[in-house]
Amino acid sequence: MSLINQFRPYPLFILVLAIVLSMPVVVVLAHVFVPSGDIWQHLSSTVLPDYIRNSLLLMLGVAIGTLLIGVTTAWLTTMCQFPGRSVFEWALLLPMAMPAYIIAYTYTGMLDISGPVQMALRDWFGWQYGDYWFPQIRSLNGAVVMLTLVLYPYVYLLSRAAFLSQSICVLDVSRTLGNGPWKTFWRVALPLARPAIIAGLSLALMETLADYGTVQFFGVSTFTTGIFRTWFGMGSAAAAAQLAAGLMVFVFALIILERYSRRKARYHHTSRRHQDLRRFQLTGGRAALAFLFCLVILSLGFLLPALQLLSWTVHVADTVIDAQFLRLLMNSLSLAAFAAVLALILAIVMAYAQRLYPGKLVSGAVRVAGMGYAVPGAVIAVGVMIPFAWFDNTVDDLARSHFDYSTGLLLSGTLVAVTFAYLTRFLAVSLQTVDSGLTRITHSMDEAGRSFGFRPLQILRQIHIPMLSASLMTALLLVFVDVLKELPATLILRPFNFNTLAVKAYELASDERLAEAAPAALAIVIAGIIPVILLSKTITRSRKLKLAIDEN
Amino acid sequence: MKTDTSMQIPQLQVDNISIGYADRTVVEGISFQLKPGEIACLLGPSGCGKTSVLRAIAGFEPLMQGSITLHGKTVSSSVMSLPPEKRHIGMVFQDFALFPHLTVVKNIGFGLQKLPRKQRQQRVEELLELVELTDAKNQYPHQLSGGQQQRVALARAMAPRPDILLLDEPFSSMDTELREQLAREVRDLLRRDGVTAIMVTHDQHEAFAMADQIGVLGQGKLLQWGNGYDLYHRPSSRFVADFIGQGVLIPGEIIADNKIHTELGIVSGKITSAATSGQQVNLLLRPDDIIHDDNSPLKAEIVGRAFRGAVYLYTLKLQSGQQILCLVQSHHQHDIGEFLGIRLEADHLAVFSDLT
């Protein structure tokens, strides 16, 4: 494509869109150069070392935990045969439906001094308060455990895909060369899956960095809680932005790690010809151990907290589920639906631009627009708030000096700001889904359509839309659920007195009204199960496809 | 001397093996054996069970019946199966299955963990030279061509000096033109190292280029075991006659020990199977059994022809409507519809009594 093509209206529009969507990140990074005076000095001499230390420890702990759990469960469910394996295969994804801040406060309620666990202990052993030691859940270690329990599915998902794509022949070769099953795992299967495992790990760590609810609730000071404190406590936007920029350094490191691993993974691809996976048949004690391990992980990550939420909800349903709750539900659902539709439209526009105007400029613009997913919500919120507030103030000043009229807040503190933040953060999700759907429609399909005398619009209607509809639906659902779960950006940017399920659950939990927070939290978890179902469907589909290939 | 070789312990003995799953038998009652240094090939159409036999020898498939003995030691029977890593075999897979995360050197050295470092390096160097990949030794598999990848796979399997080398359709991912040449190269390599090997393929030309002994498998049974010449000229069954080479069957009647009466006249030659006078049989005629001879009184109409470079393969129609095939040097050009003078010249007469 010539350069001229890139400056037609359509590609140009994409370019502008990318610039607008990258604004929050640019604003944050630009603030590194804005002097914030004493506050920054104060921060760096007091709390900043804590933020860095805690964030690093958190990442280290989550990395170890998600690796151990994710890789082990992936290996067990793909390569071994034991009772319940086919259920665990998808069920192990369920913890993804559980936002970290929700599991955190659920466990707090369960493990509290007055919670069911300690009560049972006291009952059984006849202990009194203070007679026994009990681990403090509201701590850095507690946060590591909570985040690990809900983030391991990223590692599980990607390493599972890697194990599945390994040619069984490669493992067989290792056997014929004198390596037993264990040695084959360590010397062949694991090194081959390493890039995929690291990619999954970097995703989990990005989520760790983005977490606000858990660390705030547990009183662990990290970058995200620091951003909130500087913004609301000290009222310094510049210093908050600088903290956000500091957080971005970590995020960029992870993005680079992830990209690098994925590139490397291409070379770790073995042949496309698969032989039927012959799973190692586990028997007796080993089978029981594998079953128990998966069951414990699933229970801790999903079943127990979900049951607790359910029981709280049942308990408080009479008082909490009222007209106000329904308004809350409607607020959340309509906001999420609106953002999802908007993201879908933008994603379609961008994906088609990439198809119609292949070239560095457009694909670069699309990539920039999709970068927000890696950026923590708190960072985006700061990056949205600062320019919007500036815009409001400027307009207000102008109006006042010229017309003697105050325009007030036009953008900041409105739904526009919240929606814009959602778009920058979650556009990547719908973009990726739409794009992968669109690449399945090859150019030769278009050409085949043209050769039958179809006009472009007919091709769109008769070929593209039917083939894309599933991807579009998926894109819509994924963004919808992500928005529903999103906490920090909503907390900062929401209009005054506008509540969502996530915000309400968080606020009630912060006030130690754990049981009352349960209905909202449960609603989020139920919505969160949707993408898990979609994912597990993809898994079954790929397995069926593989079976069909093997039959031939 | 002859008694000596027969006294030798066979390197591989496959004894009446059956392989199958709960509901179906894939392979039934197969037996054969290989002497040290012998190269054999299991040949058959896809789905005939040849790969299952190979995988059973490797230890990836359990046996329902029979036994497999490697170098005098039973490795598989209906009640036991030594795991693959304990069998001291080498295997080359259809897709080569190189380890993508390891260099050529490390791939080849993968099975040599137990050797001390020095010896390991020495053995790897030896093999790099043997397969002529010394220059590429620090490259990764994705940087190699298909042919190079295959040589790495071969070297890797040969490195630990296995008791037997198993090759699973090793040339199937290569260009058709390359296959025969590669098969000959691999054969020379194996010969030089004195490796006992067994290959599985569906391509008879590969089998001919590679193997001393060929076993033809059809529907899970071993139909014939012999060299290429025997399979072509003395097929023991219609299946083998059909599968190997081209040819047609024409009906005839045996009139003497070495004479058959057919539409083409009386054919004399050595009848390959037991037959009695007066018996109605089908005679296998290969295209090279029919000679073009303008002076021959016997004429047949040309109904089809295919250019094969040096020769034409003509399809001819006899008076009865029976079609036969004939190879004629390509500088003799004849058009469809013309009549060609032919003569029958066969020394082996393969006959099949079933008249279907």
The pLDDT value recorded for residue B281 is: 87
> For A86-114, what is the mean pLDDT?
89
Listed residues B217, B240, B263: the one ending a domain: B240
On whether residue A188 sits in a domain, the answer given is: yes
On whether residue A81 sits in a domain, the answer given is: yes
Assess whether A376 and A463 both reside in one domain.
yes
What chain A residue is nearest to B166 in terms of C-alpha separation?
Answer: A176
On whether residue B221 sits in a domain, the answer given is: yes
Assess whether A282 and A359 both reside in one domain.
no
Provide, as residue numbers in chain A, all residues whose Cβ is less than 8 Å from the Cβ of B160.
177-178
Question: Among residues 8-37 of chain B, which lie with CB inside 8 Å of chain A?
Answer: none
Helix (H, G, I), strand (E, B) or coil at A2: coil
Structural domain count of chain B: 2
Question: Among residues 58-87 of chain A, which lie with CB inside 8 Å of chain B?
Answer: none
Listed residues B240, B269, B294: the one ending a domain: B240
Assess whether B9 and B71 both reside in one domain.
yes
| Per-residue pLDDT reduced to its tens digit, A266-292 | 666 655 554 556 778 888 899 999 999
| ipTM for the complex shown | 0.76
Q: Does the pLDDT of residue A338 top 90, yes or no?
A: yes
Q: Round to whole Å and give the CA distance between A496 and A178.
A: 68
Q: At what angle do helices A323-356 and A465-485 cross, to 10 degrees?
A: 140
Assess whether A180 and A96 both reside in one domain.
yes
Reported as a pLDDT band with limits 50, 70 and 90, residue A344 is very high
Q: Round to whole Å and give the CA distance between A217 and A213.
A: 6
B99 and chain A in contact, CB less than 8 A = yes
Structural domain count of chain A: 2
Assess whether A368 and A461 both reside in one domain.
yes
Query: What's the domain range around B327?
Result: 246-352
For B280-333, strand residue ranges (E) read: 280-285, 290-292, 299-307, 311-317, 323-329
What is the CATH number for B59? Answer: 3.40.50.300
A167 and chain B in contact, CB less than 8 A = yes
Residue A196, min C-alpha distance to chain B (Å)? 13
Q: Poorest-confidence range of A2-11, A176-185, A338-347, B126-135?
A: A2-11
Of A177, A267, A268, the CB nearest to B111: A177
On whether the CB atoms of residues B99 and B107 are closer than 8 A, the answer is: yes
Residue B171, min C-alpha distance to chain A (Å)? 15
The pLDDT value recorded for residue B298 is: 87
On whether the CB atoms of residues B98 and B142 are closer than 8 A, the answer is: no
Assess whether B6 and B59 both reside in one domain.
yes
What chain B residue is nearest to A188 in terms of C-alpha separation?
Answer: B99
Of B94, B98, B110, the CB nearest to A177: B110
Residue A71, min C-alpha distance to chain B (Å)? 19
On whether residue A546 sits in a domain, the answer given is: no
On whether residue B150 sits in a domain, the answer given is: no
On whether the CB atoms of residues A479 and A344 are closer than 8 A, the answer is: yes
> For A531-539, what is the mean pLDDT?
78
Closest CA relative to residue B287, chosen from B329, B248, B326, B316:
B326
Listed residues B205, B240, B275: the one ending a domain: B240
The pLDDT value recorded for residue A276 is: 56
Residue A280, min C-alpha distance to chain B (Å)? 12
For A308-369, strand residue ranges (E) read: none
pTM summary value = 0.81
What chain B residue is nearest to A169 in terms of C-alpha separation?
Answer: B97
Assess whether B207 and B292 both reside in one domain.
no
Query: What's the domain range around A201?
Result: 47-270+278-304
Provide, as residue numbers in chain B, all residues whose Cβ is less than 8 Å from the Cβ of A268.
100-101
Q: Poorest-confidence range of A291-305, A426-440, B30-44?
A: A426-440
Q: Does the pLDDT of residue A343 top 90, yes or no?
A: yes
The pLDDT value recorded for residue B356 is: 44
Assess whether A202 and A332 both reside in one domain.
no
A269 and chain B in contact, CB less than 8 A = yes
What chain B residue is nearest to A178 in terms of C-alpha separation?
Answer: B85
On whether the CB atoms of residues A544 and A344 are closer than 8 A, the answer is: no
Q: Within a 13 Å sphere around the CA of A510, how many CA atoms are in the beta-carbon half? A: 13
Of B89, B91, B100, the CB nearest to A192: B100
On whether residue A334 sits in a domain, the answer given is: yes
Assess whether B232 and B291 both reside in one domain.
no
Assess whether B341 and B250 both reside in one domain.
yes
Assess whether B211 and B277 both reside in one domain.
no
What chain B residue is nearest to A182 in terms of C-alpha separation?
Answer: B85
Assess whether B255 and B319 both reside in one domain.
yes
| Per-residue pLDDT reduced to its tens digit, B284-338 | 888 888 888 888 888 899 999 888 888 888 999 988 888 899 888 888 788 899 8
| Alpha helices, DSSP H, located in A31-139 | 38-46, 48-79, 85-91, 100-111, 116-125
Assess whether A254 and A340 both reside in one domain.
no
A169 and chain B in contact, CB less than 8 A = yes
Assess whether A257 and A382 both reside in one domain.
no
The pLDDT value recorded for residue A513 is: 87
For residue B258, give the H/E element and its range: none
B84 and chain A in contact, CB less than 8 A = yes
Assess whether B53 and B180 both reside in one domain.
yes
> For B222-231, what is the mean pLDDT?
91
> For B12-16, what is the mean pLDDT?
94
A543 and chain B in contact, CB less than 8 A = no
Q: Which of the two residues, A372 and B356, has the higher pLDDT score? A: A372
Q: Poorest-confidence range of A206-215, A354-363, B78-87?
A: A354-363
> For B117-143, what is the mean pLDDT?
91
On whether residue B6 sits in a domain, the answer given is: yes
Assess whether A376 and A492 both reside in one domain.
yes
Q: Which of the two residues, B133 and B22, has the higher pLDDT score? A: B133
B192 and chain A in contact, CB less than 8 A = no
Q: At what angle do helices A304-320 and A514-551 cross, to 10 degrees?
A: 130
On whether residue A518 sits in a domain, the answer given is: no
A194 and chain B in contact, CB less than 8 A = yes
CB–CB contact B156 A174 (8 Å): no
Closest CA relative to residue A244, chosen from A255, A229, A259, A266:
A229
Residue A552, min C-alpha distance to chain B (Å)? 10
> For B223-241, what is the mean pLDDT?
90
Q: Poorest-confidence range of A248-252, A489-493, B269-273?
A: B269-273
Assess whether A56 and A27 both reside in one domain.
no
On whether residue A548 sits in a domain, the answer given is: no
Instruction: Report the percentage of chain B scoring pLDDT > 90.
Output: 35
Q: Round to whole Å and give the CA distance between B32 and B15.
A: 7
Residue A469, min C-alpha distance to chain B (Å)? 36
On whether the CB atoms of residues A46 and A230 are closer than 8 A, the answer is: no
What is the CATH number for B291? Answer: 2.40.50.140
On whether residue A157 sits in a domain, the answer given is: yes
On whether residue B41 sits in a domain, the answer given is: yes
What is the CATH number for A26? Answer: 1.10.3720.10
> For B141-158, what is the mean pLDDT?
90
Classify burial at A132, counting beta carbons within 10 Å of its beta carbon; exposed 0-12, middle 13-18, buried 19 or more.
exposed
Q: At what angle do helices A48-79 and A190-210 cross, to 10 degrees?
A: 140
CB–CB contact B111 A267 (8 Å): no
On whether residue B111 sits in a domain, the answer given is: no
Assess whether B83 and B179 both reside in one domain.
yes
Assess whether A288 and A171 both reside in one domain.
yes
B157 and chain A in contact, CB less than 8 A = yes
Q: Which of A165, A168, A176 to mutate to test the interface with B (most CBs of B within 10 A)?
A: A176
B158 and chain A in contact, CB less than 8 A = no
On whether residue B98 sits in a domain, the answer given is: no
DSSP assignment of A492-504 equals HHSPTT---HHHH
Provide, as residue numbers in chain B, all residues whose Cβ is less than 8 Å from the Cβ of A192.
99-101
Provide, as residue numbers in chain B, all residues whose Cβ is less than 8 Å from the Cβ of A270.
95, 97, 100
Q: Does the pLDDT of residue B57 top 90, yes or no?
A: yes
On whether residue B294 sits in a domain, the answer given is: yes
Reported as a pLDDT band with limits 50, 70 and 90, residue A2 is very low
On whether residue B147 sits in a domain, the answer given is: no
On whether residue A490 sits in a domain, the answer given is: yes
